[in-house]
Chain A
Amino acid sequence: MKIKELAKLVDGQITGAFADDNYEVEKAFASDLMSDVLRFSMDETVLITGLCNNQTLRTAEMADLRVVILGRAKEPDEEMLKLAKEAVITIIKSQYSIFKISGILYGAGIKPLY
């Protein structure tokens, strides 16, 4: 699924289309715990999180994530947007809860990481 489709499904706003528009997401992982994000292979995966700080982006960078959905109406600050740009990561902001975002994407065919 393309990033724009992901954003549409969760009524989200793309704060910066830093990743390739043609990038295809197949799987999702929902976590506020960055320690767990670093444990798994994140190829073709979108991270769904309510954790909104620099470390969300740093972790995404190390895990080779290209797309992060910030749920629960979290708002990234300037520093986060700068990090996202440097690491070529797209942030999608959504008002929905993590559970709702996960449910919508699962229903649309996005697979769980495991």
Chain B
Amino acid sequence: MHYTFEIERGNFTDAGQASSSVKRTLKQLGVDPANIKRTVVALFEAEINAIAHAYGGTIDVDIDDSKIVMVVADKGPGIPNLDLAMQEGWSTASAKVREMGYGAGMGLPNIKKNTDELQIDTEVGVGTTVTMTVYLA
């Protein structure tokens, strides 16, 4: 199964809709609750990151019997120093993002913790693509 969602820059009103939709689908498919939890937490973190930092993008989710692959691709500033971004507590989030309860610098580390595979392709001034895989076996 394949699902695609649009990400709108700075739209915190609708932030989480994609993750919520994926959560409902996984529940309907009878996926184990622990795998649902780590999938949607990772996707939600990536969704929030893209809304907070980028200029829009897409989320593509592919689900089969053995795995869930989520690709969050944004047009945005890119990540100048990925090693720093992966460190807990490192954040470039704006005051607005912090007012929403985010921007603690925990997003990417938390995505890594909750997924089996994480690949981040980023280019400054072009955008970032985060590919997350959760194995269901």
Residues of chain A at the chain B interface (Cβ within 8 Å): 32-36, 38-39, 41, 51, 53-56, 58-59, 61-64, 79, 86-87
Main secondary structure of the interface of A (DSSP, over half): helix
Question: Which of A34, A36, A62, A64 lies in contact with B19, CB distance below 8 A?
Answer: A62
B102 interface neighbour in A34, A39, A63, Cβ under 8 Å: A34
A38 to B101, CA, bound (A): 11
Residues of B at the A interface (CB closer than 8 Å) are 12-13, 15-16, 19-20, 23, 33, 37, 40-41, 44-45, 100-107, 110, 113
**B12, B33, B100, B101: which has the most chain A beta carbons within 10 Å?**
B101
Residues on B with beta carbons closer than 8 Å to the beta carbon of A63: 37, 41
Task: Verify A39–B110 contact, CB threshold 8 A.
Answer: yes
Give the complex CA separation of A35 and B91 in angstroms.
12
Beyond A38-B45, A38-B106, A54-B13, 15 extra complex contacts between A and B, CB < 8 Å: A33-B102, A35-B104, A35-B106, A36-B106, A39-B113, A53-B12, A54-B12, A55-B16, A58-B16, A58-B44, A62-B19, A62-B23, A62-B37, A62-B41, A64-B33
